[in-house]
Amino acid sequence: MTASKIPAETITVHVDDRAATRQQVFIDLTHLGRHVTGLERVSIEQFQNMDFADADVRYVTANGIASMIWHQQVVLPLLALLNPRATFVFPGFPPAPMFALMPSRVVMYVHDLFLLTRPADLGLKAKLYMAPSFGIAVRRLKRFLVNSEKTRAELQPFARRDAEIALYRPLVRNVFGLETTGREDRAQRPGVLKIATLGTIEPRKNYGAMLPILDALAARGQPAELHVIGREGWGAAREALAGDPRVTIHGYQPAGAVKALLEAADVYLCCSHDEGLGLPLLEAQFAGLPVAAPGSAVFREVLGQSGTFIDPADATGAATAIAALIAVPGWRGRSCAAARANAARWNDLASADAGLARHMFAQKALARRA
């Protein structure tokens, strides 16, 4: 779960003989350099590693929190004043409020709307630093990229009527090096069902709903254990999880450890109240894992026909669905095949988005939007 290091306190410039005729683009990567979670992986894969055709791309980076704030609030606005024809792209944190004065020159990638729609679930830093700028940006800017149909639908009521909102779904890569070798040969019915979940422990992830599901599985004669992989975060759920002997909180782990945990699991479980996309669900499918997730629109969009859909508030019903899943003869092989097919389906959609995105900063494309 690491990325190649970007030099700090620099603006990386890619220039060739045609630079004078190419659109100048500054991409804010100041939020990289910390733990690499879904937001950082999207920024790396879709912006840092993307070859934008006919664009003179310059990456703005930082080193540490203080440097990040300085670059986001002072350096980037100053660059906008000094480069009046340049486009500025924000794939992670929202832009400083000053960018609302130049709405056509900014492209913001929206991962979700939780900064506006779920304020009670936010940590203090998000409430104080990100939410105010995000609220200004979504209401004033004119150009957005989003990670899912669900995020686009949620953004539209907040955005101005003439805003352009384009899909730029992330390609899902096997970032943990997962394998399915031997999975189909495991016992039809596990003695103890190993359930894995990946993500920061926070109120929106609804980890507390998983404990009643474990209880309901045990009542059906299927003992289970839960492995939580991700930062410990905030909220009351951690105490409940830590106090349950069936639960192991692994914390943030390097890719090799995540690989081992996911490959050892039987089922991946998600109980989130909401997600902008749910990237870890797709990533876990490289291990051939069946995924049980809420039946709301975003999870159906991501999982297609491969998901087992549950209501996390109905522990008995969720346990029944999981038990039914593992009762089907050959369920491990079926799950592997369904996971492979779904990852391919998603990446076909994302590849089409990426093909369009490569040319989004070309002079002709920008002229059409003017």
Average pLDDT on 36-62 reads 88
Range of 308's domain? 183-336
- Return the structure tokens found at 190: 């596990």
Average pLDDT on 200-218 reads 95
pLDDT digits (tens, 9 = 90+) for 121-152: 888 888 999 999 999 999 999 999 999 999 99
% pLDDT > 90, the chain? 78
- CATH number, domain with residue 259: 3.40.50.2000
> How far apart are the C-alpha atoms of 143 and 139, rounded to whole Å?
11
Q: 16 and 154: one domain? A: yes
Q: pLDDT grade, residue 365 (50/70/90)?
A: low
- Return the structure tokens found at 10: 């620099």
**Could you tell me if 128 and 134 are in contact, meaning their C-beta atoms sit under 8 angstroms apart?**
no
pLDDT in the model for residue 20: 54
pLDDT in the model for residue 16: 43
Q: 195 and 148: one domain? A: no
Helices of type H across 205-266? 210-219, 237-242, 255-264
Q: pLDDT grade, residue 34 (50/70/90)?
A: low
- What's the farthest any 2 CA atoms get from each other in the chain? 70
Q: 160 and 21: one domain? A: yes
pLDDT in the model for residue 2: 33
Query: Kind and range of the H or E element at 309?
Result: strand 307-310
- Report whether pLDDT(18) > 70: no
pLDDT in the model for residue 179: 96
- Report whether pLDDT(370) > 60: no
Q: Which of 288, 319, 310, 304 is nearest to 349 (CA)?
A: 304
Average pLDDT on 282-290 reads 96
% pLDDT > 70, the chain? 91
The alpha carbon dihedral of 33, 35, 40, 41 has a sign of positive
Q: Does 343 map to a domain?
A: no
Residue 114, amino acid: F
Q: What is the CA radius of gyration of the chain?
A: 22
Q: 133 and 222: one domain? A: no
Q: 240 and 275: one domain? A: yes
pLDDT in the model for residue 369: 58
> How far apart are the C-alpha atoms of 110 and 276, rounded to whole Å?
9
pLDDT in the model for residue 274: 92
Q: 133 and 189: one domain? A: no
Q: Does 253 map to a domain?
A: yes
| Lowest mean per-residue pLDDT among 39-53, 154-168, 172-186 | 39-53
Query: Kind and range of the H or E element at 197?
Result: strand 193-198
Q: 168 and 191: one domain? A: no
Average pLDDT on 321-347 reads 96
Counting the structural domains of the chain, the total is: 2
Q: Does 178 map to a domain?
A: no
pLDDT in the model for residue 301: 96
Q: Does 98 map to a domain?
A: yes
**Could you tell me if 198 and 231 are in contact, meaning their C-beta atoms sit under 8 angstroms apart?**
no
Q: 81 and 228: one domain? A: no
Average pLDDT on 159-178 reads 95
pLDDT digits (tens, 9 = 90+) for 295-314: 999 999 999 999 999 999 99
